[in-house]
Structure 1
Amino acid sequence: MQPRRHVQQKLTREPVRAFLFDMDNTLFDLVGAQAAACHQVVRHLGYDDGDELFRYFLSGRYGFESTENIRQYMADRSIPAYGLYHEACRIYADEKLRQIVPYPGVEETVKAVRALGLPMIIVTDAEAPDARMRLDKSGLSSYFDRTISFDLVKEKKPAPAPFLAALDATGTAPYETLFIGDSLRRDIAPCKKLGIRTVYARYGDRFSGTRQEIEADFVIDRMDDLLGIIGSP
């Protein structure tokens, strides 16, 4: 794990005129919520290996949020799907959403940013209905003007399309825009290519100590460190 870097510098170039935020693992811990949901599912199925089910979601075979991972887990254990699979999916979805709560300092920070009166956009790979439910559950919906979701642009990060759509929505130039996200590869690297200024939310990256170095303009270890960067009280 990299040592905590206390933010002492502020933006010194052109002022920021819009803020773009990643959602999952930047505003709240989706990975933790999914892991908890996996444990709930396997208990319902009569097993005690929630971490193993979670590894199915991490495998990349079906996608990080696909419930086909549950189906495959059940098939590998000869658990009959009839009457159990759909119930397992419901338990998974309900528990995952129940576990969604903002990281410490997130709500206070986005409230302070909102008070600046500048555009605030969510850029996420989630589908719009999932994004709405998570933002509503976290109590953060009212702070954001719009959500750029996967179903809107049909491409996932690190493709440039989601970021370009966000710039179009704010009407700002890349150098006037600040992006806050937890993924060096999927958030920081593509934003840097487009000229968008970047804040790496290292607290949301569980594997930050093993990442290949991609230089963000700023690094924060709590969301409220952002206020020191933008000079907000």
Structure 2
Amino acid sequence: MDGTIMTGELKGVIFDMDNTLFDFIEAKITACTAIVEFIGKGEAHELLSYFRRKKYGFEDLENISDYLIEYDMYSEQMFNDCCAIYEREKISTIELYPGVKDTMLDLKEMELSIGILTDADKNNASKRLRKVGLCGCFDSLFTYDMTGHKKPSHEPFTYALDSMGLKAYETLYVGDSLRRDIIPSKQIGMVTVHALYGDYSHPDDNVQAMERPDHTINAFRELLTIIQNGNRS
């Protein structure tokens, strides 16, 4: 490929979910705040740092267990109460970034295939998408328990493309992480759009990125301009 994709050749757009469609980190901070207020110890960002460890995973509730143990607050009842608080506050706080729903509906009117690719499992992903009212705005949802691999592996991206009947060069991929979204999708030939507004990555992730995005957006609605222009930068 010569690095150019014309509007007429564009067949699909695949989105990352968390921090691309909505601010998931802020929702987790709110949930962590509710927990530390409930137990009367600690600080929300400290609890969030437990989720950022690689010990269990970013979604695993065992991170809360470790936090309670650290503060000598663990009991089965306390753990269950904190998990319930966390899940309730996390989901209730999630809100779409401005312009997301209208833009996705505009893309569907252009007869583009719309997919969402996430490392979340189907149950968690579906809860979030229902909460923000995006069900019906996309054609395909691909989750970790479907693909069997997490980003930055190439497998989730190729799985999504194959399932949607798309070629990499005719598909935009939009994500917030250079390391986990942009590098792997660009390596397999997709046209990449970095959602800078949602990038919470550690600075080292960006410094070490070997691939630059084809486009960068500071607001979701800017995606339409990229598609209408029809060219890689």
Q: Which moved more, 1:106-115 or 1:216-225?
A: 106-115
1:36 alignment partner in structure 2: 30
2:216 alignment partner in structure 1: 219
Q: Which moved more, 1:19-28 or 1:82-91?
A: 82-91
Q: Deviations over 1:170-219 (max 9, x none)?
A: 21111011101001111111111111111110110024866225311110
User: Does the 8 Å contact 1:39/1:48 carry over to 2?
Assistant: no
1:124 alignment partner in structure 2: 118
Among 61, 75, 84, the alignment partner of 1:67 is 61
Among 149, 161, 171, the alignment partner of 1:155 is 149
Helix, strand or coil: the match of 1:117?
coil
Give, as a single letter, the amino acid of the residue that structure 2 aligns with 1:215: R
**Which structure 2 segments of 5+ residues have no match?**
none
2:95 alignment partner in structure 1: 101
Q: Report the CA distance between 1:82 and its aligned residue.
A: 2.4
Measure the CA separation in 1 of the matches of 2:213 and 2:202.
Answer: 13
Measure the CA separation in 2 of the matches of 1:156 and 1:121.
Answer: 16
Q: Report the CA distance between 1:59 and its aligned residue.
A: 2.2
1:176 alignment partner in structure 2: 170
User: Does the 8 Å contact 1:11/1:229 carry over to 2?
Assistant: no
Give the 3 Å change call, closer, same or farther, for CA 34–223 of structure 1 in structure 2. same
Structure with the bigger RCO (C-alpha within 8 Å, sep 6+) is 1
Measure the CA separation in 1 of the matches of 2:32 and 2:102.
Answer: 30
Q: Report the CA distance between 1:15 and its aligned residue.
A: 2.0
RMSD: 1.7
% same residue: 39
Give, as a single letter, the amino acid of the residue that structure 2 aligns with 1:119: S
Helix, strand or coil: the match of 1:28?
coil
Normalized against structure 1, the TM-score is what? Answer: 0.91
Measure the CA separation in 1 of the matches of 2:110 and 2:7.
Answer: 18
1:5 alignment partner in structure 2: none
Give, as a single letter, the amino acid of the residue that structure 2 aligns with 1:173: K
- Does residue 1:193 correspond to 2:190, yes or no? no
Normalized against structure 2, the TM-score is what? Answer: 0.91
Q: Report the CA distance between 1:129 and its aligned residue.
A: 0.7
- What pairs up with 1:8-27 in 2 under 5 angstroms? 12=6, 15-27=9-21
1:45 alignment partner in structure 2: 39
Among 211, 224, 228, the alignment partner of 2:225 is 228
User: Does the 8 Å contact 2:7/2:227 carry over to 1?
Assistant: no
Helix, strand or coil: the match of 2:136?
helix
